[in-house]
Every structure is written in C-alpha cells, then in structure tokens.
Amino acid sequence: MIGNLNHVAIVVPDLAAATATYRDVLGGQVSDPIDLPEHGVTTVFVNLPNTKIELLHPLGEDSPIGKFLEKNPSGGMHHVCYEVPDILVARDHLKAGGARVLGDGEPKIGAHGKPVLFLHPKDFCGTLVELEQV
C-alpha cells in the first residue's frame, strides 16, 4: 500500500540555525520557510536525491509540536511520511485493520499542497506516520 518515503521530519528549536546547518555544513538544497497555520508549524524542506528532510518549528503558542520541544529541547525526529496513491482508500484500509487516524480522520492539505493524514504512533512501532497522497 505505501509507496516511496516522502520525507523524514525533524523538530528543531531554531529553524534558521537548523537551515544553515543543512545548507552550509551538509551542503543541502533547502527551501524557503513555509508557514502552515492549519498545522501550527513553519517548515523548511531539504531536498535529497532520494527523499527530503522536513525541518519543523512551532508556529504560534498552540503548535502541536510545542510539547515535543518541551520534552526534547534540542529537537529530534518527529515523523516519517510515506506516499500513497489514494489517501481515502489507504485510510479506510488502515482503519479496517485497526489503525487509528489522528484528528477527525479527514485529510488536511499539507506542505506540498496535497492531502495528508497522521496515524497514531502506538500502531506503528512507536513512530508517528504521515501519509501523503501523490
């Protein structure tokens, strides 16, 4: 059902410093920051030959990743994102198998302008999983 690994997301306490590290130290091609108010984050993508790294920083005081940074002040890996051809078919298949979809279960538009859903980490070996329709 899942396709390619779309990205690995890393929460960072300082987005400018993290962007500089990936651009200047590692030589990565980085995007401009993108504010996603619906998700409560600002994101920067680091493009790699085979996938992307998503740098996440809280946007606003109610950001869902604010608590992550409280527990992990240096930041850390937040989620993995897999591509699926049809997000509703994938959602329904996973729910039928007992997986829990976070939020209201309806896709939201993600950073790439495509529908996304998040799956409960307890159902996937302790890892928060994002699905993105391609």
**Which residues are tagged catalytic?**
130
Cβ atoms of 127 and 80 closer than 8 Å: yes
Q: How far is CA 9 from the centre of its chain?
A: 5
Distance, CA of 87 to CA of 3 (rounded, Å): 12
Distance, CA of 85 to CA of 129 (rounded, Å): 16
The upper half-sphere exposure of residue 73, i.e. CA atoms within 13 Å in the direction of its Cβ, equals 0
Largest CA distance in the chain: 46
